[in-house]
Amino acid sequence: MTIDLPAAVADDWRRLGTQTEKRRLALMTITAETTVFEHRPTADALEQLHTSGSIPARSLFLIELQLNPSLSTMGVSPSGALGMAAPKARTGFVETIEDDGIIVGDERTSEHIDRPDGTVGHLTVFEASYPIDGDSEPDGNDADAEAATVDAEAHIAIWPAAETYVMAGGLVPLEAPDEPATLEAALDIDPARDREAIVDLFRGLDLEATDED
């Protein structure tokens, strides 16, 4: 299965990397393949954020899920099990970005969302803190000091497909670091624009592409 970025956002974003994780849920194995995309116009500015992670402060995510055994063999449809799948999907997404050093806070939004094709999914928006000094080495005097962070939002949505689920989301920076001063202009903080890019991603995904092996 392959999911591509929709045309509405494809030109401004480029594939950064993909990671695959397997999780067990009762008798089912869930394989999640997460592809991270970075924003082309701000990629150089993001490189100035000294972090040890691989996820940019402004990023998009596409997540393909493979379920073994499939839901159909258990007599369950993906749409019928969405209420059970959505919390598990959120947990997996949060663990993935937290492994990269991003601090995930409270839920800001949790609601059902409709795609233009009528497919009903579920969206969650989390408060987040993005670390900006992951490469620094604390000395003996500030070993207990908190790492510097900037405020951000993490968006994640899930929709049912024919035999599985499709997930997508993004990370939105809400502020720039105080230092260096030039970075605020380089990052061009605009949460409304970034949220619209995530909406374009949600609207333009081809869920039918996930039906093919």
Cα–Cα distance for residue pair 8/200, rounded to 1 Å: 6
Unique residue bearing structure tokens 């055994």: 69
Distances (CA, A) of 115 to 142, 188, 207: 49, 29, 10
Cα–Cα distance for residue pair 133/141, rounded to 1 Å: 17
Hey, what are 82's tokens? 């969405």
* pLDDT at residue 43 is higher than 90: no
Percent pLDDT > 90 in the chain is 37
pLDDT-derived band at 110 (thresholds 50, 70, 90) equals: very high
Over residues 163-168, mean pLDDT: 90
The more confident residue out of 137 and 106 is 106
Q: What pLDDT, on the 0 to 100 scale, is given for residue 28?
A: 80
Q: What pLDDT, on the 0 to 100 scale, is given for residue 182?
A: 64
Q: What pLDDT, on the 0 to 100 scale, is given for residue 139?
A: 47
pLDDT-derived band at 144 (thresholds 50, 70, 90) equals: very low
The more confident residue out of 163 and 98 is 98
* pLDDT at residue 45 is higher than 70: no
Q: What pLDDT, on the 0 to 100 scale, is given for residue 49?
A: 58
Q: What is the pLDDT of residues 77-93, one digit of tens each?
A: 888 888 888 888 888 89
The gap from C-alpha 18 to its chain's centroid, in whole angstroms, comes to 12
Q: What pLDDT, on the 0 to 100 scale, is given for residue 106?
A: 96
Q: What pLDDT, on the 0 to 100 scale, is given for residue 192?
A: 97
**73 backbone dihedrals φ, ψ, rounded to 5°:** -70, -20
The DSSP output letter for 176 is -
Over residues 5-33, mean pLDDT: 87
The more confident residue out of 31 and 191 is 191
Q: What pLDDT, on the 0 to 100 scale, is given for residue 48?
A: 63
Beta sheet of 13-25, edge-to-edge order: 13-25, 28-39, 59-68, 165-173, 149-160, 120-131, 103-114
Hey, what are 49's tokens? 């954020």
* pLDDT at residue 46 is higher than 70: no
* pLDDT at residue 170 is higher than 90: yes
